[in-house]
Amino acid sequence: MDKVQRNSSVRRAAVAGLFYSKDPHQLRQEVEDFVAAVPSSAGSRVKAIIAPHAGYVYSGSTAGAAFAAMRGQFNAIRRVIVIGPAHYVPLRGIAVPSADVFETPLGRLPLDQAALQSISDLPFVHVSDAPHTPEHALEVELPFVQILIGDCELVPLLVGHAEPAEVAQVLDRLWDGASTLIVISSDLSHYHEYDRACRLDGDTAALIETGEWAQLNANRACGYLPIAGLLVEATRRGLAARRLALCNSGDTAGDRTQVVGYGAWSFAAQQ
């Protein structure tokens, strides 16, 4: 594949004003409120989180629970790897953008070009802006990153038709130390009746927490491949999942006839 070339292009926000506020002051207040609502708790240093990517009115509180698990670590983080599913543009493998920065109403996040270059030789990694341009899965995580972490570099990855082992291989290359945070962006089940969704999402949560990645599928989570890849690598490295929140849109801002599930987990060394 072609090498990742550094350029001056900007990936502009696609869902500001739709999934989250386009007003920077309101957006900052919402994110801070989501995180502040989560009680503090002690635990091991968190290496990775799973967070949902719906509109903030639906899943913002669950995303807040995921990022709140990083309290006390924000100042140490210098690079954030954000991985999610490609919803709009079909692709094989994993797509990286050619852009230099990603933009939200809060400003611009520079991309870690050296990190992108370090995975550019993998045959399933491709430079493609088309999947990134309309995609919300990564974008909705970025205001949390900008407000809570601040000065850092971004590694945005969209997963299409890929194998969990391929996602795990990318994570292995990018793993680094305490200065790198991995954010897996995924919602859970889609458009089931409330009680059925609760049962299905509860089963999916158990699979995540026991590392049974091979049992995950698209009916359980839109980002099942990024989740599965994380589980492969986390298990290899001795990390365990901790459930932080589990709900659905029927609990937050929607009716209960067709709901979307949301969950938050952190991954840290087993104690």
Tell me the two tokens of residue 53: 């990517």
Q: 3-state class of 57 per DSSP?
A: helix
Average pLDDT on 150-179 reads 97
| Mean pLDDT of the chain, nearest integer | 95
pLDDT over threshold 80, residue 7: no
- Give tens-digit pLDDT for 22-51: 999 999 999 999 999 999 887 789 999 999
pLDDT over threshold 80, residue 1: no
pLDDT over threshold 50, residue 229: yes
pLDDT over threshold 50, residue 3: no
User: Of 159, 14, 144, 169, which Cα lies nearest the Cα of 80?
Assistant: 144
Question: Which backbone phi and psi does 222 adopt, to 5 degrees?
Answer: -65, -30
**208: Cβ contacts below 8 Å, ≥ 6 apart:** 50, 216, 227, 231, 241, 263, 265
Tell me the two tokens of residue 73: 């670590």
Domain ranges of the chain: 10-269
User: Of 88, 115, 113, 111, which Cα lies nearest the Cα of 101?
Assistant: 111
pLDDT over threshold 70, residue 170: yes
Range of weakest confidence among 8-12, 57-61, 123-127, 211-215: 8-12
- Looking at residue 4, its pLDDT comes to 40
- Looking at residue 25, its pLDDT comes to 98
Q: Does residue 4 or residue 218 have the better pLDDT?
A: 218
DSSP H or E stretch at residue 269: strand 259-269
Q: Are 184 and 140 in contact (CB under 8 A)?
A: no
- Give tens-digit pLDDT for 66-106: 999 999 999 999 999 999 999 999 999 999 999 999 999 99
Outline where the chain has alpha helix (H).
24-36, 56-68, 113-118, 142-144, 164-174, 194-210, 224-236, 249-252
- Give tens-digit pLDDT for 242-267: 999 999 999 999 899 999 999 999 99
User: Of 206, 207, 214, 116, which Cα lies nearest the Cα of 165?
Assistant: 214
- Looking at residue 271, its pLDDT comes to 66
Q: Does residue 270 or residue 233 have the better pLDDT?
A: 233
Domain 10-269: CATH superfamily is: LigB-like (3.40.830.10)
pLDDT over threshold 80, residue 5: no
Q: How far is CA 84 from CA 131, 156, 182, 186, in A?
A: 11, 8, 11, 6
- Looking at residue 44, its pLDDT comes to 80
Q: Are 59 and 141 in contact (CB under 8 A)?
A: no
- Give tens-digit pLDDT for 105-141: 999 999 999 999 999 999 999 999 999 999 999 999 9
Q: Are 241 and 43 in contact (CB under 8 A)?
A: no
The label of the residue with tokens 């999942």 reads 241
Percentage of residues of the chain with pLDDT beyond 70: 97
